[in-house]
Every structure is written in C-alpha cells, then in structure tokens.
Amino acid sequence: MTNLVSIILAAGEGTRMKSTLPKVLHQICGQPMLLYVLKAVLSAGCRKNYLVVGHKGKSVIEALRNFLPLKKKGIEFVKQNKLLGSGHAVLQVKKNLKGYRGNVLVVYGDLPLLTAGTVNRLVQAHYKQDNSLTILGATLEDPSGYGRIIEKGNGKEIRIVEERDATPDERRINTVNAGVYCFRAEDLFKAIDKIRPDNRKKEYYLTDTVKILRDMGKKVRMVTTKDSSEVEGVNNRKQLVSVQKYVNMKNLERLLLAGVTIVDPSSTFVDSTVKIGRDTVIYPGSTILGKTKIGENCKLGPHAFIENCQIEKGVEVRASFIYGAKIAERAKVGPFSHIRPGTFVGEGVRVGNFCEVKKSRIGKGTKVSHLSYIGDAFLGKGVNIGAGTITCNFDGVRKNITRIGDNTFVGSDAKFIAPVKIGKGAVIGAGSTITEDVPPGKLAIARARQVIKDRKKKKKIKR
C-alpha cells in the first residue's frame, strides 16, 4: 500500500525473559521472533518500515541481516537511547516521517503469531471507516498480562487501561489490547506530543493516544481478531515454549499437506526454514533445524538430528547427528553416527555404526564401517574402510590431510598418520599403522611380527 508505513517496536530489554539476549531475538523454530512480525508487516504491503531498537540494538540489526536484505525491503533502524515506554519509542520516528500524510501501522515486536491477513483486515477497516486510529483487539479466556480495552456507546467510546493501572473490575474484562494500531500519521504525532508519564512506571504509554485523540474529537475504533492466538505475546520462557509449539505444529502441517510423512508429530521438531521433499518419511524423535534442504523419498530417524544440511533424494539417516554437511543420493548414515561440518558424503556411501566424519570428502560407493574416525580426509570411490580405522589428522600444531585412492581396501583397526597418501587399489593390512605413502595397487602391512613363546611354570607359593 503506497500510503502505509510501519513502525515496529523492538527496543525493550525483556527483563522477564531472564536473558542477556534481547527479547525480540529469542528464536522460534529457527528464526528470531521479530522476524515473524516483520514478515507479516511486509506482506501487508508497507512501503517503508522503521524498526525502533534500543537494548543491544546492534545485535538486533546484525541478526536481521542474516535473514533479510534490509535495504531491498525498505527497512530502516531508529535508535531509542532511553527506554521510556512505547509512546516515547514511536516519537523517535517523528523526524523520519516529517511531511508524511499517509497512515502508520504500529506493531510490537514480540507478536510472532501475527498474520498478514489480520494486519490487512485492520488496515482495510481503518481506510473504510476513515478512522484517526484503529486498534486491534482480541477476546481471551485469560486476559492476565494484557492491557484491557473498555468500550462504551456501542464501540464509539474506547479507552485502554494497562493491567498494572487497572481496577479489579477492569481486570475482569477479557477484551485485550493486541499491540497493533493503525494511525493517521498527522494525528499520531499530535497525540504523542501530549502524552504525559502519569502512571506507576513513569513511562510514556502509546495507549494514552486513544483518550487524547478522542478528546480531540477524532474517530477511534477497534477491529477484533478472528483467531485470538495471533495476539499471544512472548514475555517469558514459558510463553516462548507455548508459541514455539504452536509454530512447530504449523510447520509440520505444512509439510504433511506437501506430501511428507511424519509418523509422530508430537515428538518431531522442524524449523520454519527447513524444506523437505515429498514421500520423505520422518520417524519419531527427529529434529531438523536451520537452512536444511531434504530431497524426496528419504527416511529420517528415528532420533535423527540434522542441522544446516543438504540431503539429496533417497537418503537414510538413522539415530545420528549431522551438522553442516552434504549427503548425496541413496547414502546411508547410522545408526549412531556423527557427521560434522564441511563433510561431503557421496552417492551410495555407507557410514556405519558409531562412526565420526569431520571435514572430509567420501567418494561414491565407499563404505566406512563401524567405530571409525575419518577427519580431514579425501576418500575415493569404492573404498572399503574396515572397523576401527582412524585418520590421525592432528599433530598437536596443525590438521593434516589423509588421501585414500579409489577402490582401496583398508583392513580393520588401521591407523593413518597424516599427512599420508594411499594410491588407487592399494590394500592396507588389518592393524597397520601407516606413516608413509603407499603406491597404487600395493599391499602395506605395518605391524610388529607376532611372537609365540612358552609360558613359564608358576612356582607354588608356600603359605
């Protein structure tokens, strides 16, 4: 909408979160809660968006930069140096909107469940009714913690009372202020200039503009949400968990409708940023996080943990941890494997029980058997890694590389003292400790010769 801008209030510390992290940066299914609010506002068509930051403002800005191209989205940051309330926060944007004659959407930054549809309903009602101010309200069974909206004269007289300032009778009202407003810009700043900190916290409440505008003869009305869950704010860790459960279930519903099988949604967690192809099956106890992208026809779990990975079609991951890795088609990982960042697991590779792979490249069809550690290594195609094999990559100063050529056979309990290079088609004897390069097609055995000796007769000890 060409004549609509937004102000998002994200300056507060959020003391009830008991955290060093600004409240709006606490994550919900892989994204800061502020980002959910911002996306709803952008979807509503605001051409310019002002984010008011205060407590650890630089951290808020940097966090958003990791998710959005801020300049392309018309996002500008405004600093609130002294945290003197919501009215004072909006006042910081006054100079940015000098001469602006449109409408201003004001939203609190801790409403991650707010949807673009509800924002649009509010704005459309504002335009249609030609209001000076339109408030988003909601009806809750338990209104505790929210400011109450008090109506008289069939909605023609509205006022908002913060809970801390409400009387016992007013606290029994279950129509609450959602923290979303649409103002006529020129009326907004006239009203804000008249706000006084006449309350228990000595702050400038944005909600005081309701009475001020009404006293000025301006038209103030309310729109009520169709889904009261949208106004569920986050003020403490308990509320954070509640909101995250809701968002996670929405993520799972989206995947189910897209053709993904989730055996037990109640024990499955998937971030909002994850993409999963159809006919993939997710078994109970699995967690998929970050910018993970998973192809079709995969089998994940039970108890798979996957974060920031690219997994191609037909992959199986059983009871394993995978971070920052790429897994090619039809590979099998686990159970109880650990794939660390920077690893590429090639097509048809098998990484077996209790294996760890770190910053390595494993070629097509290679098998890494159980109880092995592969670190800083390049394994070719069709390699067999026997059980208990270790690449000794760290010499106490630097990480060194092990290179193993195509179709090499490595016996169980072999150790490669990196840096070392094994040629194509070589055979490494079980139990060998390889300290030098092995030419292609050669057999390398590096272990002490077995010696058999007679046992000495034990002398009887007299008591």
Q: Which residues are catalytic?
A: 370
Q: Are 249 and 232 in contact (CB under 8 A)?
A: no
How far is it, in rounded angstroms, from Cα 222 to Cα 212?
A: 16
How many Cα neighbours within 13 Å face the side chain of 332?
Answer: 11
What letter would DSSP give residue 409?
E
Helix (H) or strand (E) holding 40: helix 33-43
Judge if the upstream peptide bond of residue 419 is cis by omega within 30 degrees of 0.
yes
Long-range Cβ pairs for the range 378-383 (8 Å, 24+) = 378/402, 378/403, 378/404, 379/404, 380/404, 380/405, 380/406, 380/407, 380/408, 380/424, 381/346, 381/406, 381/407, 382/406, 382/407, 383/407, 383/408, 383/409, 383/410
User: For the chain, first and last CA: distance in Å?
Assistant: 102
Q: Fill in the amino acid letter for 290.
A: G
CB atoms within 10 A of CB 196: 11
Positive/negative CA dihedral, 161, 165, 171, 177 = positive
Cα torsion through 232, 234, 236, 237, rounded to 10? 90
